[in-house]
A and B are shown apart, each in its own frame.
Chain A
Amino acid sequence: MSHSEQTAAQHGAHAHGDDHAHGSHHVLPRWLLLGTWAALMSLTGLTVFSAQYHLGAFDVPIAMTIATIKGLLVMLIFMHLAWDKGFHSVLIFGSLLFVWLFVGFLLIDRGQYQGSKTQFDRDVIQSQP
């Protein structure tokens, strides 16, 4: 391989990226790979740390917020969505929206029965000798 060919190969990705409006051949720099990984590890530490404390109603929202930040880091950087075609983001975030609706509507529906369920538990436990 001649020097010019080697250079072309090394920069081929960039050259092809320039041909497209969305640059689907973006190469992640080393600092960004390592920085993202370090952030993910720190957030894992944070979620384990925060779980040591009893924050009551905030437990689940805090854990889910940290998980979502981690998920966004993975999707936007490791999965290249930040530099990828917008349509791929529409697909994936669209599916996540439907998951959110799916879970959300089920929880709204289930919330209607909370009182009767709790009363049932009390009755069953109290009825024991």
Chain B
Amino acid sequence: MSHDHGHGDKPFLAHHFEDEDHQFDSGKLGIWVFLVTEILFFSGLFCAYAIYRSMHPEVFVFASKALDTKWGAINTCVLLFSSLTAAWAVRNAQLGQKNRLVMNLALTIACAFGFMGIKYVEYTHKFHVGLKPGDLYAPVEGAYPEKGHGHARAVTVALDHSADPEAHDVAHEAGAGEHPVQEAHAAAPEHAADGEHGHTMVPWDDPRVPTEIKNRLKIFFGIYFCMTGLHGIHVLLGIVVFFWLLGRAIRGHFTPTYYGPVDFSALYWHLVDLIWIYLFPLLYLIH
């Protein structure tokens, strides 16, 4: 150990490690501990989600109409593909396949940009229609597009609509009428406090619904922006990390005995994917 980096023909073996396996195992333990802190970090937001959804399921049923399942599903596929390329990059590094390693790292970065591009489109649209976080929440007309059953479904939403056939009947009758909006409005008040099955229905579009209840919708977007925003920040950090890996891979730094950084970064990337696997159904697939 005559110079700073220590081990002569092993330029990336730090002097405080006995050998490459010692260095690899230490790094691996480090990244797993980091991932544990990440999971606990995100868990607070999942708690906020769980509490608010259990208190106000009707808010989630209605507000998630503003999220486009198509974009959410495409982004899920983009992230899953990037997880595949990241896992493949580890294989390439382990086998010393430099060109394929560079290609898979580049593909992972491309997918990450694709994901953020789609998120940008989604966020831009939400801001455009006033579905902003916190007190900036001010939806414009038509901010909540319809999914499937026509306007009436947006007007009358049950806490647990599947257990309450009446809600569907009202919705379908109103939707078939000549003036669905007015009819649904007319029908809304008497069903608004239908206590027969213990389910409260909130006619969101009814001007008589008090603001304190309508404003609950903005909590959904607070949760949505916090969860997807924090996830997005992790994707951005992943892009930075993978560019660093790409540069090192092009310079030929990684070998079958020194590929720790590729492995550890891929683990981080898989965790980001893992969190999105839960976010997608929790935010986009509510009805």
Q: Which residues of A contact B (CB under 8 A)?
A: 9-10, 12-13, 16, 19-20, 24-25, 27-28, 30, 33-34, 36-37, 40-41, 44, 47-48, 51, 54-57, 59, 63-64, 66-67, 70-71, 74-75, 77-79, 84-85, 87-88, 91-92, 94-96, 98-99, 102-103, 106-107, 110-111, 117-118, 121-122, 124-126, 128-129
Contacts and interface: CB of A to CB of B under 8 A. Distances in A.
A79 B281 contact: no
Contacts of B62: none
A99 B37 CA distance: 11
A91 B43 contact: no
B73 A48 contact: yes
B202 interface: yes
B213 to A, nearest CB: 6
**Residue of A10, A41, A125 most packed against chain B (CB within 10 A):** A125
B212 A124 contact: yes
Q: How large is the interface on B (under 10, 10 to 19, 20 to 34, 35 or more residues)?
A: 35 or more
A88 B28 contact: yes
B257 A12 contact: yes
B140 interface: no
Secondary structure at chain B's binding surface: helix, strand, loop or mixed? Answer: helix
Nearest to B43: A99
Contacts of B159: 118
Contact of B32 (A88, A125, A128): A88
Given A12-B256, A27-B94, A54 B277 contact: no
A56 B87 contact: no
A64 B282 CA distance: 8
Interface in B34-93: 35-36, 39-40, 43, 46-47, 50-51, 54-55, 69, 73, 76-77, 80-81, 83-84, 86-88, 90-91
Contacts of A129: 208
A2 B241 CA distance: 34
A88 B198 CA distance: 46
